[in-house]
Amino acid sequence: MGSIDHFDLRSFDLNLLVAFDALMQERSVTRAAARLKLGQPAMSHSLSTLRVLMQDELFVRVGAAMQPTARAMVLAGPVREALAQMQAVLRAPTGFDPATEQRTIRFGFSSEVELLLVPELTARLRAEAPGIRLLGRPTASDDVPRLLDDGELDLAIGCFEAIAQRHKAELLFEQELSCVFNPALLKLGQRLGLDDYLALPHVLVTLTERLQGCLDRALDEVDAKLNVVTASSEFLTVLSTVASAPVISTMPTRTARLHAPRFGLKLVPPPLKLSLPSVSLVWPLRLDKELASRWLMGQIRDILRATESVAAAVA
């Protein structure tokens, strides 16, 4: 970190940054004032001062809302990050004890990672950190930076990347794919031919309106199209469907090895080389040194390493 010009900062009322962030969140002088428990004239004065100091309008009225200018959009992320780090420092306990920690951790997941991680992580937390609660949600890759910045997510685990300097990322594992089917309903051998693979009715996981779902990009790269008859947002729904109908599914190998045997399903490799993005852990820089977050990220690494070992044993 570079040196700080304390005299320069002393001449700037840092409360103006709090007012700026409230205006960014609310897009309304009245609502921002209410959020900060200030009168509207005081908030209007803060905005006027910010406009002078930044030499920019920052917010312009469009209809009933105050829309940020390009300059305000550039400032928004760094200001919010700085305030979040300051808040974390002020709230940080002197130590961390998993047995007594009380908090809710908000996760963003790719759906297959949630199935791999949450059951075992919940069991560990019940045993070691009963005051920590998990709130998971499926999250699209494009939404991750905003949700981390806004504090709606503490961590994101899946096919995500750190696309800004205010975020950090760690590669957890590379993904492979397998086909699963019910051998009592489909008589297939140890190897699946390409023609059969493309013709057989497929069930896939999708988080979009497209039937090709999570394999959309991978299939486009090899110029292939599957005969998709059903798409669902949940892996357990897909596995249950494959167990009940003469269909196949292509899914991440780690998930397939762990859960397909519970449904009486068989695994075979796909006849195409299909690639999926790697799975990473992404978190905001403000939590990088926070003890509870570091402990929890360590648990996540351990669990996913263990699932790799279990999946390899099943194979």
Closest CA to 287 of 44, 76, 96: 96
Angle formed at CA 152 by CA 151 and CA 156, multiple of 5 degrees? 95
pLDDT, position 5: 59
Task: Give the contacts of 75 (CB within 8 A, at least 6 positions apart).
Answer: 20, 54
The rounded distance, in Å, linking the Cα atoms of 70 and 20 is 14
pLDDT, position 210: 52
On whether the pTM is more than 0.85, the answer is no
Give the tens place of pLDDT for each residue, 109-164: 887 788 889 999 999 999 999 999 999 988 888 888 889 888 889 999 988 876 66
Q: Do domains 6-91 and 103-174+278-314 have the same CATH topology?
A: no
The rounded distance, in Å, linking the Cα atoms of 237 and 251 is 13
Q: Could you write out the three-class secondary structure of the chain? A: CCCCCHHHHHCCCCHHHHHHHHHHHHCCHHHHHHHCCCCHHHHHHHHHHHHHHHCCCCEEEECCEEEECHHHHHHHHHHHHHHHHHHHHHHCCCCCCCCCCCEEEEEEECHHHHHHHHHHHHHHHHHHCCCEEEEEEECCHHHHHHHHHCCCCCEEEECCCCCCCCEEEEEEECCCEEEEECCCCCCCCCCCCHHHHHHCEEEEECCCCCCCHHHHHHHHHCCCCCEEEEEECCHHHHHHHHHHCCCEEEEEHHHHHHHHHHHCCEEECCCCCCCCCCEEEEEEHHHCCCHHHHHHHHHHHHHHHHHHHHHHHHC
Residue 296, amino acid: L
Cβ proximity of 58 and 68 under 8 Å = yes
The span from the first CA to the last CA of the chain, in angstroms, equals: 48
pLDDT, position 112: 76
Please give the radius of gyration of the chain, using alpha carbons only, rounded to the nearest integer: 25
**211-246 burial by CB neighbour count: b if 16+ within 10 A, else e?**
bbbbbeebbeeeebebebebbbeebeebbebbbebe
The rounded distance, in Å, linking the Cα atoms of 45 and 48 is 5
Per-domain boundaries in the chain: 6-91, 103-174+278-314, 177-268
pLDDT, position 311: 52
The rounded distance, in Å, linking the Cα atoms of 232 and 206 is 6
Residues of the chain with pLDDT under 70: 1-11, 92-94, 162-164, 207-218, 222, 309-315
Q: What's the CATH number of domain 177-268, 3.40.50.720, 3.40.190.10, 3.30.200.20, 3.30.1180.20?
A: 3.40.190.10
pLDDT, position 212: 44
Query: Is the domain defined by 6-91 classed in CATH 1.10.10.10?
Result: yes
Between β-strands 103-109 and 132-138, what pairing exists: parallel, antiparallel or unpaired?
Answer: parallel
Tokens linked to 216 = 């959309």
Q: Please state which CATH number belongs to domain 103-174+278-314.
A: 3.40.190.10
Give the tens place of pLDDT for each residue, 278-292: 889 999 888 888 888
The rounded distance, in Å, linking the Cα atoms of 90 and 275 is 44
